[in-house]
Amino acid sequence: MQSKSARTSRARTPRGRLHPAQVVTAGFAVAILIGTGLLMLPIASPGPGGVSFLVAVFTATSAICVTGLVTVDTATAWSTFGQVVILLLIQIGGFGIMTFASVIGLAVVRKMSLRSRITTASEAGSLGLEDVRGLILGVVRISLIVELIVAVLLSLRFLIGYGEPLGRAVWLGVFHSVSSFNNAGFGLFSDSLISYATDPFICLPVAAAIIIGGLGFPVIMQLRKHLRAPLQWTMNTRIVLVGTIALLVLGTVYITAVEWSNPATLGPLDWPSKLLVGFFQAVQTRTAGFNSIDVGSMDSASLLGMDVMMLIGGGPAGTAGGIKITTFAVLFFIMLTEIRGEVAVNVFGKRLSRAVHRQAITIVLLAVAVITVSTVALMLLTDFSLDQLLFEVISAFGTVGMSTGITASMPVAGQVILMLLMFIGRLGPIAFASALALRERRTTYELPKERPIIG
């Protein structure tokens, strides 16, 4: 005889109906296919005949997964139409496919079905269904406001500071604003932002958009409501803010110190410019992907440090990737609790749920497994060094988009691996966390406990 919980579980998930995580995954896959088709059109590229399927699908995957890795130069390989398609894919990918679909649904029918709310909550990492509509509207409002402000600042700088024609200046401002807020890293300059490395009027607005986008929409909306009332901040908001500040400070100090005398990067610059470039590169490790120095010329120690920061990433339910600051913080506090000999894991005056322990450990172990397998596979397929391949793999998985310059030289199999990494990196943590939360089952018995020897 079935238990009540089993009957309830079956009633909630009818046979033949996809799990919300599966719906999200399918949505991103369909968006990539549509983007690929548009980028393969002859009008999408300046040359005759259009681009190959591999170039189109790689670019579409990178754009919809807000990564920024490319096999062709975005500035020269695509026409204005192609660049507009890439920009739209970035914006849709930053919103999230289900969030974007919900925006369209709200605009047309002005209501959401229960299943749409469940799916959108799964994608956005929302804790409940009652706040989904507000979350969606907040995501749209915040995105457009930040992108508009940064676009105006960049457009004015390109227009006044560099003498770009008005139309060109506005297009550069809009494209880089959307790309930076969505942590995508796509740029319309062949050298990314190296030509503007010492210009704070370009680098700082871009960095600000990246930081704001990387906080995550729940944090941004809570700060907007309770900026002057920190006692009302949730544990998630406090962890993200403290972690963000710590990573930015440590990243800036680390990169600047290691690269200070490197003649190929910071060596020729004066000290204010070194600090600006060091800070800008530390911001990019939050999964943005722009670069104001040649990443391929950076010291191996810098690359390793950036690997760690790229893996951690930004805040959850935002445009950043990685395992997320909250996941890393949970593991850190678990370790700290064990070292202190305490029982409960307490974070900022609150006790951490044991279910969160399991989710964080699962996500990290899966991430390490995916990165390890992918790196070994690329080592077997290519002749690039471990430093380069590990950096490329973590950059793809963390949806960062920075590269040492080896992406275009990858064999077909290598590029397929990178596409899978971008796809998993954009969806994996969300899909895994939602699947773990929705797959919880109640049992009427417990097995006897036994402890293996640890350490």
pLDDT in tens, 246-277: 999 999 999 999 999 999 999 999 999 999 99
pLDDT (mean) for 325-330 = 93
46 alpha-carbon distance from chain centroid: 30
**CB–CB of 394/400 below 8 Å?**
yes
Instruction: Copy the structure tokens of residue 330.
Output: 């949970």
- For position 442, what pLDDT does the model report? 62
Domain ranges (residues) in the chain: 18-438
Instruction: Give the integer Cα–Cα distance in Å for 340 and 342.
Output: 6
Cα(first)–Cα(last) distance of the chain, in Å? 44
Q: What is the residue whose two structure tokens read 């609150």?
A: 350
**CB–CB of 64/91 below 8 Å?**
no
Instruction: Copy the structure tokens of residue 453.
Output: 């020897």
- For position 101, what pLDDT does the model report? 46
Q: What is the pLDDT of residues 98-145, one digit of tens each?
A: 465 444 444 443 454 444 454 555 445 554 544 566 667 777 888 899
Check the CA dihedral 413-309-180-270 and report its sign.
negative
Instruction: Give the integer Cα–Cα distance in Å for 195 and 193.
Output: 5
| Widest CA span in the chain | 77
* % of the chain with per-residue pLDDT over 70: 83
Q: Which of 177, 146, 393, 127 is nearest to 290 (CA)?
A: 177
Kindly report which listed range (17-31, 75-89, 271-285, 400-414) carries the lowest average pLDDT score. Answer: 17-31
Whether 9 shows a pLDDT value over 50: the answer reads no
Instruction: Give the integer Cα–Cα distance in Å for 447 and 455.
Output: 24
Q: What is the pLDDT of residues 365-404, one digit of tens each?
A: 989 999 999 999 999 999 999 999 999 999 999 999 999 9
Burial level of 423, CB count in 10 A (0-12/13-18/19+)? buried
Whether 11 shows a pLDDT value over 90: the answer reads no
Rg of the chain over all Cα atoms, to the nearest angstrom? 22
**Residue 350 per-residue DSSP state:** E
Contacts of 166 by beta carbon, 8 Å cutoff, 6+ apart: 159
Q: DSSP strand E in 322-446: where?
A: 346-347, 350-351
Quickly list DSSP for 100-121. Answer: HHHHHHHHHTS---HHHHHHHH
Q: Which of 304, 360, 351, 307 is nearest to 329 (CA)?
A: 360
Neighbours of 129 (CB within 10 A): 13
- For position 5, what pLDDT does the model report? 41
* % of the chain with per-residue pLDDT over 90: 59
CA distances from 3 to 108, 435, 442 (A): 42, 22, 10
Instruction: Copy the structure tokens of residue 346.
Output: 């307490």
Q: For the chain, what is the mean pLDDT?
A: 85
Whether 434 shows a pLDDT value over 60: the answer reads no
Q: Which of 208, 193, 197, 211 is nearest to 272 (CA)?
A: 197
| pTM summary value | 0.86
CA distances from 60 to 81, 95, 405, 419 (A): 14, 16, 19, 10
Kindly report which listed range (30-39, 273-282, 313-322, 399-408) carries the lowest average pLDDT score. Answer: 313-322
